[in-house]
Structure 1
Amino acid sequence: MGFPGARTSCRPASQIVAHLPKDHPPAANELVSAEDPAREPLIFFPARDMPGFVAEIRPIFHGMPFPRVRTRVVHQETALGFVAAGVAFTLLPEAVTSCVPSSVRVARIDSCSTTVMYVAEPRTLTPAARLFRRALFGATAAVSASSSASSA
């Protein structure tokens, strides 16, 4: 994958994981089937604003009814706030787990595939872009290390 005048890199694979209210039964497990959270209401994302992300989520529930959508939000922080309040569950990239409130439990979904993030950046970065790059790459490295340790 290339873009003229830009450096490209591929970040480690990341998985979409379920973020569940801590007192919901599936939250007790580190690994759940898609059917477990599908029985609960879902905080989801508008397909018009986030078509790529929505396209990653839909196959998780292939062959079963899609969970009832309680509300749609654009920001992951808002989704996590609803989950922390016990309103519903949501699905987010594994990299988000570093900022999950203590009232939210994260569980891998057994039928969920991993995703790969490609980064394209100009050859010269502003100071703010350098900080963002460092945070982004640090988060994906931490998730990759965590995934490697948990699968060993």
Structure 2
Amino acid sequence: MAEHTVEQGKEEEKEKHISIQRGNFAIERKHAAVDVQEPPKAQEDTEIGDMEPQMVKDLRTAVGWLRNNCHSFRGFVQEPSYLDLEKEDQEEALLKLDRAGRKDDLELAKEPFMFRFQFQQDMEVFLFKCHDERDLRINSMCMEF
């Protein structure tokens, strides 16, 4: 009978060890899930990102590409003035663009969103890279003389 008790004790010890291992595994797994999780975005980031029109997101992306690749252009490139405007003026510019009916009004409303290039070739490269390859909706014009 003592032998049975020893065997039973070994089984109980083995079960405790397995239980402890399972418990550690669960804790490690839970800990790993917390480590992998991305930190929440700041409220400002999510609000701006959600409310910003796609046109403005495309504009920001195109400006980023332009700044990273400015060495590729042989002439002067002027970025859209929209990004330098105060928040209220940006909202007004978007409203004007949205409400523009006639062609003249639309051209005037697009002014703050316009990329201006000194050379036609630079504009074509920019449009190919941003509009054709990245499918960004942008406005540009050439001021070549």
Same fold (TM over 0.5): no
Q: Which has the higher strand share?
A: 1
Q: Return the TM-score normalized by structure 2.
A: 0.22
Q: Return the TM-score normalized by structure 1.
A: 0.21
Looking at both structures, which has the greater relative contact order when contacts are Cα pairs under 8 Å and sequence separation is at least 6?
A: 1
Q: Which has the higher helix share?
A: 2
Work out which of the two has the higher radius of gyration on C-alpha atoms and give 1 or 2: 2
